Structure 1
Amino acid sequence: MNELELKYGCNPDQKPSRIFMRDGGELPVTVLNGRPGYINFLDALNAWQLVRELKEAIGLPAAASFKHVSPAGAAVGNPLTGVERQMFFVDADAPLSPIACAYIRARGADRLSSYGDWAALSDVCDEATALYLKQEVSDGIIAPGYTAGALEILKGKKKGNYSIVQIDPGYVPAPLERKDVFGVTFEQGRSAAKIDASLLENLVTKNRELPDAAKADLLLALITLRYTQSNSVCYVKDGQAIGVGAGQQSRIHCTRLAGNKADNWALRRHPKVLSLPFVDGIRRPDRDNAIDLYLSPDESGDVLADGAWQQVFRTRPEPLTPEERCAWLAAQSGVSCGSDAFFPFGDNVERAHRSGVQYIAQPGGSIRDDHVISTADRYNMVMAFTGLRLFHH
């Protein structure tokens, strides 16, 4: 099949809509269940590229959680710690495969943004991954294959309408890509530059000690940025994107947005958050919303107000004080940060430092590189100039 008719385009008034192969060849995707839409396929195909490239670069199963053509999270399949099982609502004794761990960690980067996501897996979807997805609000999944048990589980989601797409892992796209804007066709060569450890060799700071774990995290950040709507900045810790700032016109706003998300990720590990007394049977989205409100200084009063707390908590929890919040965040360290284009000012480094960033990868090339480097030196950071811009539009 070389064409698939879609319900509509980005919006219901945009008809007709389809995906097809210009050269008349076979589509590399097969719909196994549901009816994916235009935006679904944009998410699916971008997400698949990310996880395929991530597995190739790091050598571990990889997963991504996509929303509106940018990753809400991406991760590799490192085992979950006990705290992470609590954070991501996984039973302490639940058996997990590496690909299941990858998706759970990808979705756990920013659970609020992953609501209604498109999941992407580098490896065959197994029962452990499907069982976790079954409990989450998700629009669909793309993977190179599915076990029979996983397929049966996923087909039961959304009253049988959950979108399941299988992609040919051997598919190689044409070297030129095209798209139409306002009746004008744009053409460019595909972004094919290899992202590997060689990009991290040009260390420009006084501190040049870059551990292997940090190298892997920086590669994860750069690959995530390649498929994130620009401008974009990504924070990573232990094989998991913990904050993605996408689509901002200002670089510092990308850095702040990603940093704020990384801070929330760190605060969700706080003992007060892990012990929040949720009422029995509360839905996961309601729990995620309550945690987000609890951690937001300007909004926490809403969820703790008289009467309001009874809707989600068994007992009224103690608030996280500003002093506790600052102390917890000040203890964060070992975070890696990537940027899809150069940092024009040292303020980006200053903001990254506040979220525990110690390692940075960015293209370099600003007329103020000396100021950016000196700011990194002030905090004993390690910074690599990759020479590779990663804009994605």
Structure 2
Amino acid sequence: MRALISVSDKSGIVELAKELKDLGVEIISTGGTYKKLKEAQIPAIEVSEITGFPECLDGRVKTLHPAIHAGLLAMRSNPSHMKQLADLNIETIDLVIVNLYPFKETILKDGVTRAEAVENIDIGGPTMLRSAAKNYQDVAVVVDPRDYDKVLTELKEHGEVSLDTKLYLMHKVFMHTSAYDAMIAEYLKNERNDKSFPESLTMTFEKVQDMRYGENPHQAAAFYREIGKRKGSLTDAVQLNGKELSFNNINDTNGALELLKEFTEPTVVACKHGNPCGVASADNIYEAWKKAYAADKVSIFGGIVVLNRTLTYEMAEEMKDVFLEVVVAPSYEEKALDLLKLKKNLRLLQLPDIDLPQDENAYDLKKVNGGLIVQTIDSKLLHDEDLKVVTDRSPSDKEMEDLLFAWRVVKYVKSNGIALAKNKQTVGIGPGQVNRVWATRQSIEHAAELIDNEATKGAVLASDAFFPFDDCVEAAHQAGITAIIQPGGSIRDEDSIKKCNEYGIAMVFTGMRHFKH
């Protein structure tokens, strides 16, 4: 048996090679791998001895030779193939252990140049892997060091690698090389600042963990991380306490973080099932917490809380009495962390760059049956030049402050969505209704039920999309709401404007909607 070993990741390779040598396997190797094996006094043959051709072009060409690829691709069951090998004096290669140039590690380095990235695009490695994998019946091909023990065990016990294992290894190779090529293509797209949607879309992610279950216990699930620098995203958070994050935890926490990133002042976002349930800003983070909690003390039960300042001991003393699933903060006071850690199941995450904005060129992906719909993320809040007062009365400075606060919130409320706010605190949220007046009425009812009957007096209302009728204005007036912000653009805008003027309500159009389905 002959094995060809050429690895960039050399972890465990000396130990593997020693075991192969003891099994009587002849080893062929290249470059740095050959040198490492020789230093370990493991006999190996340089590839150039097999090819009769020296490595050249600074190592760019080593294994691209018929003496290698014929030895990989020849089907042992095909007499014609074997006769041609004999005529050409070429021997078969039965085991390939190859991993690729560290392209991912290279592009993740600060200040990497395009020349460095391109030089770390492996050519010979993927070619050998694909040749060996295509001939999987006869060649075992290992791309992942975690499979070394599996292959060694079978060689020791049976003198060969089973066909099932070879098929598994073949599959792993093509997953690996496809991800490698997709990563290169994505790097080049970003390097060229190409914002177009490609004719074919191939993306690569790396698995963070398998999950106990998905959205429901009967669904299987896993969590994958986008390859690249994603500071400020959930994949960059460090878990300090609690159980493993669930599918729903991750989905809900991501939504809360997206909303939090709209704010620069001290802000707390409480979220439940992907919808904000209490949001508040204040001069300090403790006051923001008190306001966010007071906004909806019911829905926060079993919810997510994220904040953009250090979590203080004062906050922790109050949080410990609330059942929460996840808390995310850029940092924690030591005493606060010790106190919250007493709740063994509470997932505490630290995300230092929590305030970093999302990459506006990132994709938002939604899987549909038989396909995929892709869009850029909703990274804009509003166009300042399109912000237009359309009523006789303009909002006061305080109303405008609350309107812009509510507009940030409603952007992340499931459509049809309504957010009511007062003093930079949500007082009522109406998410996911099939018509807008229901969402409006729901938000008003929630304010009365969860806070008090006066909660909506002097509050403002934000709607994620335009009013098709003036019924929302009527409901707002009955609740004592004094100002409204909405995109505008309905053919019946004038009905709502007239109704606002009748009641002395100020209305502002943003010229931009924020559907969230």
Q: Normalized against structure 2, the TM-score is what?
A: 0.56
The 3-state SS of whatever aligns with 1:72 is: strand
The 3-state SS of whatever aligns with 1:150 is: helix
Q: How does 1:148-163 map to 2 (within 5 A)?
A: 148-157=334-343, 160-163=344-347
Deviation at 1:392, TM superposition (A): 1.2
Q: Which amino acid letter does the alignment assign opposite residue 223 of structure 1?
A: R
- CA–CA distance in structure 2, aligned partners of residues 72 and 25 of structure 1: 27
Q: Give the number of the structure with larger relative contact order, counting CA–CA contacts within 8 Å between residues 6 or more apart.
A: 1
- CA–CA distance in structure 2, aligned partners of residues 102 and 212 of structure 1: 21
Q: Which amino acid letter does the alignment assign opposite residue 123 of structure 1?
A: R
Does residue 47 (structure 1) correspond to residue 234 (structure 2)? The answer is no
Does residue 359 (structure 1) correspond to residue 483 (structure 2)? The answer is yes
The 3-state SS of whatever aligns with 1:357 is: coil
Does residue 194 (structure 1) correspond to residue 381 (structure 2)? The answer is yes
1:65 maps to what in 2? 270
Contact kept in structure 2, 1:263 and 1:355, CA below 8 Å: no
Flag the 1:25–1:125 CA change in 2: closer, same or farther, 3 A: closer
Flag the 1:4–1:147 CA change in 2: closer, same or farther, 3 A: farther
Match of 1:11 among 195, 202, 216: 216
1:333 maps to what in 2? 457
Instruction: Deviation per CA, 1:135-194: give whole Å up to 9, x if none.
Output: 11111111222222221111112xx11111222334744522223233522210111213
Flag the 1:237–1:387 CA change in 2: closer, same or farther, 3 A: same
Deviation at 1:374, TM superposition (A): 0.6
Deviation at 1:212, TM superposition (A): 2.0
Deviation at 1:246, TM superposition (A): 0.1
2:141 maps to what in 1? none
- CA–CA distance in structure 1, aligned partners of residues 272 and 385 of structure 2: 28
- CA–CA distance in structure 1, aligned partners of residues 487 and 357 of structure 2: 30
Contact kept in structure 2, 1:65 and 1:73, CA below 8 Å: yes
User: Aligned pair count?
Assistant: 305
* Long gaps (5+) in structure 2: 1-205
1:94 maps to what in 2? none
The 3-state SS of whatever aligns with 2:515 is: coil
Q: Which amino acid letter does the alignment assign opposite residue 311 of structure 2?
A: C
* Long gaps (5+) in structure 1: 79-97, 268-327
Contact kept in structure 2, 1:52 and 1:62, CA below 8 Å: no
2:225 maps to what in 1? 20
Q: Which amino acid letter does the alignment assign opposite residue 125 of structure 1?
A: L
The 3-state SS of whatever aligns with 2:221 is: coil
Moved over 6 A (4+): none
2:371 maps to what in 1? 184
Q: Which amino acid letter does the alignment assign opposite residue 372 of structure 1?
A: S
- CA–CA distance in structure 1, aligned partners of residues 402 and 229 of structure 2: 40
- CA–CA distance in structure 2, aligned partners of residues 45 and 199 of structure 1: 30
Contact kept in structure 2, 1:340 and 1:390, CA below 8 Å: yes
2:169 maps to what in 1? none
- CA–CA distance in structure 1, aligned partners of residues 469 and 497 of structure 2: 10
Flag the 1:237–1:348 CA change in 2: closer, same or farther, 3 A: same
- CA–CA distance in structure 2, aligned partners of residues 234 and 332 of structure 1: 11
1:384 maps to what in 2? 508
Bigger Cα Rg = 2
Does residue 371 (structure 1) correspond to residue 477 (structure 2)? The answer is no
Q: How does 1:89-238 map to 2 (within 5 A)?
A: 98-157=284-343, 160-167=344-351, 168-169=353-354, 170=356, 172-173=358-359, 174-195=361-382, 198=384, 201-208=387-394, 210-238=395-423
Q: Which amino acid letter does the alignment assign opposite residue 17 of structure 1?
A: A
Does residue 243 (structure 1) correspond to residue 448 (structure 2)? The answer is no
2:239 maps to what in 1? 31
Contact kept in structure 2, 1:2 and 1:24, CA below 8 Å: no
- CA–CA distance in structure 2, aligned partners of residues 223 and 371 of structure 1: 25
- CA–CA distance in structure 2, aligned partners of residues 2 and 16 of structure 1: 11
Flag the 1:72–1:199 CA change in 2: closer, same or farther, 3 A: farther
Q: Normalized against structure 1, the TM-score is what?
A: 0.73
Q: Which amino acid letter does the alignment assign opposite residue 367 of structure 2?
A: D
- CA–CA distance in structure 2, aligned partners of residues 50 and 199 of structure 1: 23
Flag the 1:146–1:6 CA change in 2: closer, same or farther, 3 A: farther
The 3-state SS of whatever aligns with 1:375 is: helix
Deviation at 1:265, TM superposition (A): 4.5
